[in-house]
Structure 1
């Protein structure tokens, strides 16, 4: 880290890879912030389009911009690299095709300082997940640098995507009770055909191959910090949301793939989650997930889910559970609004 005299209030870290169509708008949204004491760290991850030229042009215009380049190594390596260069009191990771509102950094910084939080959740939707939040996207994470330096073993996992941000945030949340909120931060998520999330969902085999790696990361972490007993619900909610909710339920797997994934998730849950759950913990889990961990095979669960969805018990709580799995913010917010109107 740079000497103390070079510190700024906030480091904004943006990995950049082939986003020349959107990059200028993203950078401008950061430069236009009401809080001006920040540094913008741009990490070019081996772009083959005009993104590097755009980065260098902005670097010449504004001394707050720092530009670094690496061979194409993935978003996790780029974010970790940016963090190694960061000098801010707080850190925010942003995607290179999105934008933030003018007060995003200022309101997040003020919230973090006033609440003295290690981890500040940004955005009204994500703040409403408390107290049982198990993982968050980078757009909702405003982090104290001292906290990150205290746990240098917790970084974005390399060669993991999707879920690199979920694994990062899940572990950090487990390591602190000092959580804050900033409901005023507005992050504008851009949806377009070249998004990584869309491409990933097309490669179902890659997801199935990677989920055991997710579990290895979690096992090493929970063992190192002896968290199985104290954070059993936290881990259960992560399994419910990420591999079960976002992947098993919402990814177009074949029947054979679903059976394989079912066994992978169930084996992990049987060994590392279920033995540590208390009776009260089950009230925090959705009924579909409880059906899942009680089923012997995927076809049995699918039949239970089919009947459940047709049953009158498919109420507001369950509808909201499925709504939160929708990855695109606007669609998710619209659906939640519709459900809250229909089920007051």
Structure 2
């Protein structure tokens, strides 16, 4: 008889705080996966609702399910706790109010295993960020646990939300180019008013303070790893993607908040990033972001961006129209999907 316990291929970590009404669906979506060799780690971050009772429905009935309780410390601490308890060869983080398709883990495992990659980028939308992804949400990343162990100083930053998953992935992506893709992974994202990023968009000052914290964390990481000379473009793209695109362009800010955020981003770029960038690397940044880095007032940029965006939408719609005359069906579909994603931005 073989008494050696077989370790799971994948550990799925679900942090939960007061999500009892959604948790059962999340758990069931994991346990019904085509990939059987898995463990599910539920970390209860001090819930005061029935989350523990929901988890208890599965603990004991399925030996793959483990439950841990901790006093409320935030989602980052809960994910870090789950990571410390994981035994799987690969790690995936699932939010407690979302679900994954039944083939999600199998296709992701196959993709990361094929070339012995350190991470697999999951989903067609996020695959479009390759070959140089600068940050990923938790739903779009599965990591090799040995890689995370090797770089154990990189964890989810506690007390930072939203943006904690972007910081985590950005730092790790700076340390590897062994990146696989799984465009077939289907993630079912639930939208509701209690989500942290939705609440944060109503708090402009808090978002700006968070951006300042992000940059302190990133500067310390780049100092510690001595990455300024080799990875400054990676960091510039993060600055473009997260503080600029996600926060300045997509968050409701008043004039004072906009001006403050402009100053924070410009100062960090000019002092820490620009000295290491070549002219070619600077030109690889988008036109709006390059313009943003040198404007003096938010109204100047907002007027420019409104005009630029209108012209780009017009151009993309023309490309979308002309694409139907492309004779190659697969290429035509790929181009049209890409254009539609751009139009949605």
Scaled by the length of structure 2, the TM-score of the pair is 0.89
- Alpha carbons 1:134, 1:170 under 8 Å: kept: yes
Residue 282 (structure 1) shift = 2.8
Which residue in 1 is equivalent to 2:166? Answer: 166
Matches within 5 A, 1:283-302: 283-302=283-302
Distance of 1:281 and 1:5 partners within structure 2: 50
Q: Secondary structure at the match of 1:48?
A: coil
Instruction: Structure 2: state its 5+ residue gaps.
Output: 321-333
Gaps of 5+ in 1: 321-332
Partner residue of 1:327? Answer: none
How many Å apart are 1:72 and its aligned residue?
1.1
User: After alignment, is 135-144 or 217-226 more displaced?
Assistant: 217-226
Q: Provide the C-alpha distance between the structure 1 equivalents of 2:310 and 2:248, rounded to a whole number of angstroms.
A: 19
Q: Would the aligned equivalents of 2:117 and 2:178 in 1 still touch at CA under 8 Å? A: yes
Match of 1:294, SS state, is coil
CA distance in structure 2 between the partners assigned to 1:307 and 1:341 by the alignment: 16
Kept in 2, the 8 Å contact 1:308–1:314? The answer is no
Q: Distance in 2 between matches of 1:282 and 1:87?
A: 42
Q: Which residue of 1 aligns with 2:96?
A: 96
Name the SS of the counterpart of 1:60 in structure 2.
Answer: coil
For normalisation by structure 1, the TM-score amounts to 0.89
Q: CA deviation at 1:311?
A: 4.8
Aligned match of 2:134: 134
In the alignment, the residues of structure 1 paired with residue 220 and residue 337 of structure 2 have an alpha-carbon distance, to the nearest angstrom, of 36
Distance (whole Å) between structure 2 residues aligned to residue 76 and residue 228 of structure 1: 26
- State how many pairs are aligned: 325
Deviation at 1:299, TM superposition (A): 3.1
Q: How much does 1:6 deviate?
A: 5.5
Given the superposition, is the C-alpha separation of residues 275 and 253 from structure 1 closer, same or farther in structure 2, using an over 3 Å criterion?
Answer: same
SS state of the match for residue 82, structure 1? Answer: helix
Residue number in structure 1 paired with 2:281: 281
Residue 106 of structure 1 and its aligned partner are, at CA, apart by 1.0
Summarize the Cα distance change of 1:268–1:300 in structure 2 as closer, same or farther, 3 Å threshold: same
Q: C-alpha separation between the residues in 2 aligned to 1:165 and 1:341?
A: 23
Residues 252, 313 of structure 1: alpha-carbon distance in 2 compared, 3 angstrom cutoff: closer
Once residues 312 and 111 of structure 1 are traced to their aligned partners in structure 2, the CA distance between those partners, rounded to angstroms, is 34
Q: Are 2:93 and 1:78 equivalent residues in the alignment?
A: no
- Are residue 179 (structure 1) and residue 205 (structure 2) matched? no
- SS of residue matched to 1:12: strand
Contact in 1 for aligned 2:79/2:93 (Cα 8 Å): yes
Q: 1:120 maps to which residue?
A: 120
Q: Provide the residue aligned with 2:217 in structure 1.
A: 217
- For 1:184-223, list aligned pairs within 5 A: 184-223=184-223
Q: Quick one: distance in 1 between partners of 2:52 and 2:341? A: 45
1:18-167 → structure 2 map (5 Å cutoff): 18-167=18-167
The equivalent of 1:258 in structure 2 is: 258
Measure, in 1, the Cα distance between the counterparts of 2:313 and 2:65: 53
Greater shift, 141-150 or 305-314, is seen at 305-314
Tell whether 2:243 aligns with 1:230. no
Secondary structure of the structure 1 residue equivalent to 2:296: coil
Q: In 2, distance between residues paired with 1:315 and 1:282? A: 24
Moved more, 278-287 or 216-225: 278-287
CA contact (8 A) 2:266 2:294 kept: no
Distance 1:308 1:112, change over 3 A: closer
Cα offset, 1:193, TM superposition: 2.1
CA distance in 2, matches of 1:341, 1:148: 33
TM-aligned CA distance change 1:145 to 1:312, over 3 Å: closer
Distance in 2 separating the partners of 1:305 and 1:82: 42
Worse-matched range after superposition: 53-62 or 145-154: 53-62
Report the CA distance between 1:16 and its aligned residue: 0.7
